[in-house]
Amino acid sequence: MKKVFVASDHAGVKLKTLIHDHLIANYAVKDLGPFDTSSVDYPDFAKKVCGEVLKTPESVGILICGSGQGMAMTANKLKGIRAALCWDEPSAKLSRLHNDANVLCMGARLIPEGLAVLIAEKWLSTEFEGGRHQNRVKKIEE
**CB atoms < 10 A from the CB of 131, how many?**
8
**CB atoms < 10 A from the CB of 57, how many?**
7
Residue 1 has pLDDT above 80, yes or no: no
User: Which position among 10, 20, 50, 65 bears the catalytic label?
Assistant: 65
- Quick one: how far is CA 110 from the chain centroid? 16
Residue 130 has pLDDT above 90, yes or no: no
Q: Report pTM.
A: 0.97
- 65 annotated active-site: yes
- 105 annotated active-site: no
pLDDT per position as a tens digit, 65-109: 999 999 999 999 999 999 999 999 999 999 999 999 999 999 999
Decide if 30 contacts 53 (C-beta within 8 A): no
Distances in whole angstroms, Cα of residue 138 to Cα of each of 73, 79, 82, 100, 131: 20, 12, 11, 10, 12
Please tell me the predicted confidence (pLDDT) of residue 63.
98
Decide if 98 contacts 79 (C-beta within 8 A): no
pLDDT per position as a tens digit, 46-65: 999 999 999 998 999 999 99
Q: How many CA atoms lie within 13 A of 36 on its CB side?
A: 1
Please tell me the predicted confidence (pLDDT) of residue 44.
98
